Chains A and B, each alone.
Chain A
Amino acid sequence: MLQNIVNALVLGSSYVMIAVGLTLVYGILKILHIAHAGIYAFGALFAVYLYELGFPFILAILLSLVVSSFLGVFVYRGFYKHVLNRGRIVPLVMSVGLFAAMEDLYRLVWGPYKRPFDVYLNLPDIMTPSLYLSSRGVLMLIVTVIVVFVLYLLLMKTKLGKSLRACSNDLHLAGAFGVNTDRTIAYGFLIGSCLAALGGILVGLYDNTVYPTMGSVPSYKAFVVVVLGGFGSIRGAVIASYILALVETFVVYKLGYLLPRDAIAFLTMIVLLMFKPEGLFGKVQR
């Protein structure tokens, strides 16, 4: 029981990272940024690549985060920005194409196989008769708490946070009131992509594997969280991450042989959408 809850917390934390960044992007631009999961995978793969090249662990991660963040900004500045006024389907389809190309590119550059994240963490595992939590799980929980706290401060206490919230509320109105919307969106992508890459690295660490298609399932599963959280609500996304993880863990625990956990996540989303189309914490739009 306790073990299941702890497992769900770790799983939920892994959703938080990618879903919060996605919520940030979706909240402002209202486009389904599927390629977000491409950045998630890039973060993990690039960190492992740098580490294997001989960079120190911390430096490899920091470098990967920086590069991933700018990759996210590049995706916005290079692609989405030019098609925003062409209807909703164009950026969506472009994003799907980008993600497909990214995954294949990683496979070509780093090979198709799974590789371990072979690093020794100088942290103790938690081991009691009723509970086992690896040090990597502890790391994931701690980092998530810190990230959520920092993000909260950023959004609520800084000028950038104010701009981000204004743009998320109404992009054109924010622009009319003198917010530099283009730069704010770029910052949104910067922060979101950084979080996605961090999520990829932490999951890579926790599972001790990284591989080119590791973003496939998160690419749409993160959207399950964004939908559950009510499209654009950061708090909703965080809460929804943990709810989804709990539902998945307990359904798998009770009738695990029936369907894989990802299918359960989607079924949860579809059923919820039928009854509450605006998401768990969403406001009715329009």
Chain B
Amino acid sequence: MSLDYFLTVSVFTMINMILALSLNVLIGYAGQVSLGHAAFFGIGAYASAVLTVKFGMNYWLALLLSVLISGLVGLLLGLPALRVKEDFLVLATIGINFVVVSIFNYVKFFGGPYGILGLPRPSLFNHAFSTREYAIYVLVWTVLVILFVRYLSKTFVKLGFDSLREDEDAAESIGVSSPRYKMYAFTIAGLLAGLAGNLWAHYMTVVFPDNFVFPVSIGILTMVVVGGVGTLFGPLVGAVIVTALPEILRFARDYRMLIYGLIIVFTMFFMPKGIVGSIKERIYGAALSEERIEKIRRVAGG
């Protein structure tokens, strides 16, 4: 196994880790199921592609702007989520994914089906990153994102997310502003997915609409669900499994979606809390969460 091959798989794994963490903030923490996460990923990638290739912008400025843009779009897409919930939201996000990809595909400015080519590799002091340096660069971001999500899960924001997830109406009745926390969740998820998009685009140096279609969203969902919804390490484990599995099962490349699908189905069947979630449950027992739900019910008076 050559070093470059190993590095490439590592870069993809780390980018997927960021994506999975980002989706987990939405699903696991705030309880907002999104089936269109690839749209945020694509917006980060395309924003950076447009800024660097079409406007000749410096990579670092483009990084900042593309992450901000996808965070902003996350906020905007969060707006429908303020009005709709649960199943309606799932459908709205699928729709958003579809519409975003259609725009990439049909608007000439974004290069249509041929995408945008020739994205620059980031450079520091006039030295463009080699593949190895790029892998280290992505590693730095991954660690930062992990630390950020860990920090997030200890702040008051997480408490707001918790109450939103357990029972939105009850949360409202005890004075938790659910629209505000929904907006937080969508903005944070948008920022992180945009970062992943930027890192991915400048590693590949090309972007195509096909890279951000609905099946990609399913892939991200698989990582979160298989690893363990709502845990910090679950999405990381999930990203490793989903990225590495096709590499290990090279001979089974044709069966990729079949294997993904079956993994999702059987994880839901036997381990609805995912790998990490189930292990945690084994160790700590299920009583903890039951107790917490009961507490929230008591507080809400329901």
Contact = CB atoms under 8 A, between A and B. Distances in A.
Interface of A: 30, 32, 79, 82-83, 86-94, 96-105, 108, 216, 220, 223-224, 227, 231, 258-260, 262-263, 266-267, 269-270, 273-274, 277, 286
Contacts of B95: 220, 224, 266-267, 269-270
Interface stretch (B63-71, B83-91, B119-127, B175-183): B83-91
B91 A220 contact: yes
Contacts of A108: 254-255, 258
Contacts of A99: 261
B165 to A, nearest CB: 10
B33 interface: yes
Interface string B60-98: 000000000000000000011001101110111011101
23 contacts: A79-B265, A83-B272, A88-B86, A90-B268, A92-B90, A94-B265, A96-B221, A96-B264, A99-B261, A100-B257, A100-B261, A101-B257, A101-B261, A231-B87, A258-B106, A259-B99, A259-B106, A260-B106, A263-B98, A267-B99, A273-B92, A274-B79, A277-B83
B281 to A, nearest CB: 13
A227 B215 CA distance: 22
Given A220-B95, A277-B88, A262 B102 contact: yes
Contacts of A88: 86-87
A175 to B, nearest CB: 22
Contacts of B129: none
B13 to A, nearest CB: 21
A258 B99 CA distance: 12
Interface of B: 27, 33, 35, 79-80, 83-84, 86-88, 90-92, 94-96, 98-99, 102-103, 105-106, 169, 214-215, 218, 221-222, 225, 229, 254-258, 260-265, 268-269, 272
Contacts of B229: 89
B27 A89 contact: yes
Contact of B99 (A79, A231, A263): A263
A263 B97 CA distance: 10
A50 to B, nearest CB: 23
Contacts of B35: 96
Given A260-B106, A273-B80, A104 B264 contact: no
B30 to A, nearest CB: 12
Given A92-B33, A104-B256, 17 more contacts: A79-B265, A87-B272, A88-B86, A93-B225, A98-B265, A101-B261, A103-B257, A104-B261, A105-B258, A220-B98, A223-B94, A263-B98, A266-B95, A269-B92, A270-B95, A273-B88, A274-B80
B106 A100 contact: no
B104 to A, nearest CB: 11
A98 B91 contact: no
Interface centre among B221, B262, B265, B269 (most CB of A within 10 A): B265
